[in-house]
């Protein structure tokens, strides 16, 4: 009965207007949810998400056009357009499709997992101001003149003008206090230390310290030009920082121009007393696969106790969509767990190889390579980069990766390495090393020759120890089913110990392995 009434009744002008605005908002949400597209397309068919987005835009345009036609009472053949059957048919088709798109989008959002919801918040935050401003202008120009009640008209005009003004002011004048997001992280990149820290807005950055009586102030710059970024990176020789103290600083850049510019508040951190693991007994925090679950990771890490160094084994986020992903989930996380006073050995996870900011990650972290070696007294660390865990042609990579050649280069580099007389530990995100069987076999042969068969890794989101063809492989935990597991590696002269705790305070693993 209701269905018949819906088909026979004329669609009011206000319903067309609300439908058009909701369809515009749905288009915005489909746009910010586009990271899901590859998974949905794989389930339905390739191009489904693009059709959905295009169809919804068409709905928004159709409903707004019909609203304008009806509001202007355009007549054709002596009759008002909105009384025509064709008009009503299009209006109802538009409304039904807009409703379906809205329902689909709402379900996609409601049933998104934690990572997708976090991504959604970031994407909305990054694009809400231009969207709100655009929508307000459209409504002021096209919608407002058609409203007849003057009180209603005045109220809507005030609201839309406020939205426009707020968007403009917030774009030109950031209204939040400039601050560091955390302590710095000091990455041991093999050759030197990269001191990396993040701020909540863009600015310049530097680190300063005194070495052998000489004061150093090292800026984050390129060929003399200071970099303007939320992530600040400077390289410092290892000898300058070992056993020394340093501090970092930043000046907010509100506007960077070819002529002139505008700066804001300057920040200077406390002094950080930096020490490196040394002696026969050394302890390291090892964490992997936090996948944005930093709260759970911090809780688990609080149970690990004290440590001398940090091993980050990758997979901080689903993919590097924006600079904020690196700032929040790698740099801030690294700073929080190392407190800026100990070195971090950073191993890239396969999820850090994805996204539009993945190619810039080496520069952000001040790393020339993700495969390298470093030593701390009696111990030699061999860091490898397994790249992605699927073939380059996989649709998730969108044709933007070339990791087959990258892994071949890494294995060639590995084959040039000479055996260290120190106890050697291999650090890699995926203990499978390479997707390619031949490269994996070559890498394993060489690791055997190098005595680098003790592997500490992540990727599988479990805590386990396996012995396989002469290799001892530890997978250090990560996030799985509402639980995060962090591990501790203790190196001693005769053996090494592996221990792990979850975020509930329970020790979930403990094992001692002789060298």
The residue ranges that bind Fe ion (CB under 5 A) are 315, 349-350, 459
Owner of token pair 């390495």: 417
CB closer to Fe ion, 459 vs 488: 459
Query: What DSSP string runs through 85-105?
Result: HHHHHHHHHHHHHHHHHHHHH
Owner of token pair 């962090």: 486
CB closer to Fe ion, 274 vs 290: 290
CB closer to Fe ion, 60 vs 316: 316
CB closer to Fe ion, 16 vs 428: 428
Q: What does the chain come to in residues?
A: 515
Residue 134 CB, shortest distance to Fe ion, in Å, is 38
CB 370 within 8 A of CB 347: yes
Residue 277 CB, shortest distance to Fe ion, in Å, is 26
Reduced to 3 states, what is the DSSP secondary structure of residue 85?
helix
CB closer to Fe ion, 220 vs 325: 325
Reduced to 3 states, what is the DSSP secondary structure of residue 140?
helix
The residue number with the shortest CB distance to Fe ion is: 459
Residue 350 CB, shortest distance to Fe ion, in Å, is 4
CB closer to Fe ion, 22 vs 463: 463
Residue 263 CB, shortest distance to Fe ion, in Å, is 40
Query: What DSSP string runs through 253-276?
Result: EEEE-SS-EEEEEEEE---EE---
Smallest CA-to-CA distance from 453 within 490, 428, 478, 489 is with: 428
Reduced to 3 states, what is the DSSP secondary structure of residue 411?
helix
C-alpha pair distances (Å), 337 with each of 32, 197, 289, 294, 317: 31, 13, 14, 10, 17
Residue 361 CB, shortest distance to Fe ion, in Å, is 15
Residue 459 CB, shortest distance to Fe ion, in Å, is 4
Owner of token pair 């159709």: 62
Alpha helices in 355-436 (DSSP H): 361-365, 403-415
Residue 351 CB, shortest distance to Fe ion, in Å, is 6
CB closer to Fe ion, 205 vs 349: 349
């Amino acid at each position: 009965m209701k269905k018949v009434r819906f088909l026979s009744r004329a669609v009011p002008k206000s319903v067309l207007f609300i439908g058009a605005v909701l369809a515009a908002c749905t288009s915005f949400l489909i746009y910010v949810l586009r990271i899901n597209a590859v998974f949905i397309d794989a389930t339905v068919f390739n191009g489904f998400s693009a059709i959905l987005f295009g169809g919804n835009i068409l709905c928004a345009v159709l409903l707004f056009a019909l609203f304008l036609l009806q509001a202007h009472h355009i007549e054709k053949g002596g009759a008002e357009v909105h009384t025509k059957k064709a008009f009503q048919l299009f209006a109802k088709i538009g409304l039904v499709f807009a409703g379906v798109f809205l329902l689909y989008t709402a379900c996609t959002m409601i049933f998104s997992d934690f990572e997708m919801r976090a991504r959604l918040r970031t994407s909305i935050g990054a694009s809400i101001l231009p969207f709100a401003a655009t929508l307000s202008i459209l409504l002021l120009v096209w919608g407002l003149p058609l409203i007849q009640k003057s009180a209603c008209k005045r109220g809507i005009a005030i609201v839309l003008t406020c939205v426009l003004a707020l968007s403009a002011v917030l774009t030109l004048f950031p209204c939040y206090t400039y601050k560091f997001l955390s302590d710095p992280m000091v990455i041991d990149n093999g050759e030197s230390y990269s001191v990396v820290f993040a701020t909540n807005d863009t600015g310049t950055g530097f680190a300063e310290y005194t070495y052998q009586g000489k004061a150093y102030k090292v800026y984050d710059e390129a060929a003399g030009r200071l970099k303007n970024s939320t992530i600040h990176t400077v390289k410092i020789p290892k000898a300058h920082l070992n056993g020394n103290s340093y501090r970092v600083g930043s000046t907010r850049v509100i506007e960077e121009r070819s002529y002139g510019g505008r700066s804001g508040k300057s920040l200077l951190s406390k002094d950080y007393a930096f020490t490196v693991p040394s002696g026969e007994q050394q302890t390291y925090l090892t964490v992997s696969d936090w996948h944005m679950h930093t709260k759970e990771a911090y809780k688990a890490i609080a149970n690990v106790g004290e440590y001398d160094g940090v091993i980050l084994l990758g997979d901080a986020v689903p993919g590097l969509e924006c600079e904020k992903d690196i700032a929040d989930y790698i740099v801030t996380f690294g700073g929080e767990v190392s407190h800026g006073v100990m070195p971090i050995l950073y191993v890239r996870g396969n999820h850090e190889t994805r996204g539009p900011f993945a190619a810039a990650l080496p520069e952000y972290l001040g790393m020339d390579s993700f495969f390298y070696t470093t030593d701390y007294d009696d111990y030699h660390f061999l860091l490898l980069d397994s790249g992605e865990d699927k073939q380059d042609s996989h649709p998730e990579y969108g044709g933007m990766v070339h990791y087959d050649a990258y892994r071949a280069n890494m294995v060639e580099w590995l084959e040039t390495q000479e055996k260290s007389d120190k106890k050697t530990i291999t650090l890699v995100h995926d203990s499978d090393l390479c997707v390619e069987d031949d490269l994996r076999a070559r890498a394993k042969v060489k690791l055997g020759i190098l005595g680098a068969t003790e592997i500490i890794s992540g990727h599988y989101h479990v805590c386990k120890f396996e012995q396989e063809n002469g290799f001892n492989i530890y997978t250090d935990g990560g996030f799985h089913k509402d639980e995060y597991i962090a591990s501790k590696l203790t190196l001693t002269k005769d053996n090494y110990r592996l221990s792990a705790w979850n975020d509930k305070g329970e020790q979930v693993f403990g094992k001692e392995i002789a060298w």
